[in-house]
Amino acid sequence: MKAISVRMVVDVLAALETDTLAGSLYMIDNNRLGGSRNQATAALATAVAPGDRIIWTLVPIECETHAAVRAIELPAEICEVRRETYPGSDISFWVGSVKQPVGNLPYVLTLELGSRTRTLHNGTDARLIEAALQTSPDATRTGSS
């Protein structure tokens, strides 16, 4: 069981100016060794396994602009997602509990930017993928000298 952090960085002004998240959303996670790929893009593929916990946070590049995650849509039987708030604040984050293998599972991410809401749709965008099995160098050595 791992805690996997997905950090989303959004250029709010560019997204509002162009009326799209394309080229304005950058997603990274801390599970590259577990098989995650497409780091620093809106097409992040986060590698997960049953029992893992995913924590999504959003950071606007411009601190004066409003940006929030409004929804993360995944099938609840595969990954149960809920919004939580840091104690004593109104700052939220999202937590997902992976219940079963995800295969190659796109998800819908809805962001609220300024006074508008933008939806990052499925397709080639953000997704959950099966975690790669990592073997240590010791596991690949033979017993012969």
Q: Is pLDDT at 123 greater than 80 in this prediction?
A: no
Task: Please indicate, yes or no, if residue 142 is contained in any of the structural domains.
Answer: no
Task: Please indicate, yes or no, if residue 23 is contained in any of the structural domains.
Answer: yes
Best CA proximity match to 106, nearest among 120, 88, 87, 89: 120
Task: Please indicate, yes or no, if residue 35 is contained in any of the structural domains.
Answer: yes
Task: Please indicate, yes or no, if residue 20 is contained in any of the structural domains.
Answer: yes
Task: Please indicate, yes or no, if residue 145 is contained in any of the structural domains.
Answer: no
pLDDT in tens, 9-66: 999 898 888 888 888 899 999 999 999 999 999 999 999 999 999 999 999 998 788 8
Task: Please indicate, yes or no, if residue 37 is contained in any of the structural domains.
Answer: yes
- What integer pLDDT is reported at residue 139 of this predicted model? 41
Best CA proximity match to 63, nearest among 13, 110, 18: 13
Domain count for the chain, please give it.
1
Q: Break the chain down into helix, strand, coil percent, rounded to 5.
A: 10, 45, 45
Q: Could you tell me the two tokens for 3? A: 């805690």
Q: Could you tell me the two tokens for 109? A: 């991410």
CATH number at residue 31: 2.60.40.3910
Total-model pTM: 0.85
Q: Which domain covers residue 88, as residue numbers?
A: 3-133
Give the H/E segment covering residue 137: helix 137-140
